Amino acid sequence: MINHKGLNALEFYAAFSQEEKCRKYLAEIKWGNGYQCSKCKHKACQRRKDYSRTCNKCSYTESPSANTLFHRVRFGLNKAFIICFEMSTTTKSLSAKYMAERVGVSEYTARMFMHKVREAMKSSKSHPMKGRVEADEFTVGGKEEGKVGRSYQVKKKKAAVAIELTPDNKVKRMYINRIDNFSAKELRLLFEDHISLDADVTTDLWRGYGPLTKDYNIEQIPSNSGKNFKILHTMIHKVKTWIRTTYSYVSAFHINRYFDEFTFRLNRSRSRDNIFHNLITRMVKSENIQHSELVCT
């Protein structure tokens, strides 16, 4: 199977400058381990010049992009690949306006497709964090006048965050979930999704973590104005700065997708050579998402 590696932009553009090359790449990923008709489940097919497959039994023809997150991309697969490459390999923030100008599409088109990419970036929840883990909560939406610490202001978006640390105090992985409030019920969602029961978790003294100690190995210590959680608070600051400096407004409806984008790149910082291929594979293996699911109503 083909696997584009590396972060070199010139090599990327040479590899995927044409629609045909993009279709071939998608076909290799989609049917590289064998074909099965999505209609009748038959496993024999004819290959077409455009890399589509036609079932030998029911004659259903399926394109490499059909029923994936590339389904009916009308502005060109080569442009879609550029957006995926930029979003997976960048170390900076990318706005829809920037990407629209970059590839020559409307800002709305760029924004909708970027949300599809973020959908592919969300965690599979199949590899919970182990070892040393720190957890906390934060809000997005500016400071509340005259208050320090947790804010219950309705307009602010609330989130729970956890990081897994290496023995030399480096961030190995990070996950963030939007929450409705700071209750144990809401905080438990992050633990159930991303933290192993065997992990050694450290939190501050917030009472919301109390009920979770029945199931998880949690040590609660004073925050000391964040001094006891320097690495975790640094990562929280990076997330909030990334959102604030790129997007004028992020709705509660979409904020989990932005969290997923940030953590997707961070969690693969040690395997960046394969990050583009990883993302395209996720795009292909994911079912198409309807436009109505991307629009906040």
Residue 127 lies in a domain: no
Q: Which domain holds residue 70?
A: 9-121+272-293
Residue 263 lies in a domain: no
Residue 18 lies in a domain: yes
Residue 1 lies in a domain: no
pLDDT single digits (tens) 17-51: 999 999 999 999 999 999 999 999 999 999 999 99
Within this chain, do residues 99 and 160 fall inside the same structural domain, yes or no? no
Question: Does residue 144 surpass a pLDDT of 50?
Answer: no
Residue 172 lies in a domain: yes
Within this chain, do residues 107 and 167 fall inside the same structural domain, yes or no? no
Within this chain, do residues 74 and 166 fall inside the same structural domain, yes or no? no
pLDDT band at 297, cuts 50/70/90? low
What is the pLDDT, as a whole number, of residue 296? 72
Within this chain, do residues 58 and 83 fall inside the same structural domain, yes or no? yes
pLDDT band at 152, cuts 50/70/90? low
C-beta of residue 37 within 8 angstroms of C-beta of residue 57: yes
Within this chain, do residues 78 and 155 fall inside the same structural domain, yes or no? no
Instruction: Transcribe 44-83 into DSSP letters.
Output: -EEE-TTS-EEETTT--EE-TTTTSTTTT--S-HHHHHHH
Strand partners, 135: 162
C-beta of residue 96 within 8 angstroms of C-beta of residue 261: no
Instruction: Transcribe 195-206 into DSSP letters.
Output: B-TT-EEEE-S-
**CA dihedral defined by 195, 200, 203, 205, rounded to 10 degrees?**
130
pLDDT band at 248, cuts 50/70/90? low
Can you say whether the dihedral through the CA atoms of 267, 216, 232, 184 is positive or negative?
Answer: positive
Question: Does residue 230 surpass a pLDDT of 90?
Answer: yes
Within this chain, do residues 13 and 45 fall inside the same structural domain, yes or no? yes
Q: What is the mean pLDDT of residues 247-267?
A: 89
Within this chain, do residues 73 and 38 fall inside the same structural domain, yes or no? yes
pLDDT single digits (tens) 182-203: 999 999 999 999 999 999 999 9
Question: Does residue 288 surpass a pLDDT of 70?
Answer: yes
Measured at the CA of 192, the angle between CA 181 and CA 121, to 5 degrees, comes to 85
- Helices then strands (H, E): number in the chain? 9, 8
Within this chain, do residues 71 and 177 fall inside the same structural domain, yes or no? no
C-beta of residue 42 within 8 angstroms of C-beta of residue 58: yes
What is the pLDDT, as a whole number, of residue 184? 97
Q: Enter the pTM of the model.
A: 0.91
What is the number of structural domains in the chain? 2
Packing angle of the helix pair 230-246, 255-267 (nearest 10 deg):
120
Do the strands 45-47 and 53-55 form a parallel or antiparallel pair, or are they unpaired? Answer: antiparallel
Within this chain, do residues 13 and 117 fall inside the same structural domain, yes or no? yes
pLDDT band at 250, cuts 50/70/90? confident
Within this chain, do residues 191 and 92 fall inside the same structural domain, yes or no? no
* CATH number, position 199: 3.30.420
pLDDT single digits (tens) 73-129: 999 999 999 999 999 998 777 999 999 999 999 999 999 999 999 999 999 999 999
Question: Does residue 148 surpass a pLDDT of 90?
Answer: no
- Long-range Cβ contact pairs of 147-156 (< 8 A, separation 24 or more): 150/182, 150/206, 152/181, 152/182
Residue 261 lies in a domain: no
- For residue 161, give the 3-state DSSP assignment: strand
Within this chain, do residues 109 and 203 fall inside the same structural domain, yes or no? no
Q: Which alpha helices (H) appear in 195-253, and where do they start and end?
A: 230-246
Q: Is 191 exposed, middle or buried (0-12, 13-18, 19+ CB in 10 A)?
A: buried
What is the pLDDT, as a whole number, of residue 142? 56
Residue whose C-alpha is closest to residue 117's, from 232, 257, 271: 257
C-alpha dist (Å) from residue 145 to 4, 128, 148, 193, 252: 49, 37, 9, 34, 21
Within this chain, do residues 111 and 137 fall inside the same structural domain, yes or no? no
Measured at the CA of 3, the angle between CA 7 and CA 38, to 5 degrees, comes to 130
Question: Does residue 143 surpass a pLDDT of 80?
Answer: no
Q: What share of the chain is helix, strand, coil (3-state, %, to 5)?
A: 40, 15, 45
Residue 256 lies in a domain: no
Residue 88 lies in a domain: yes
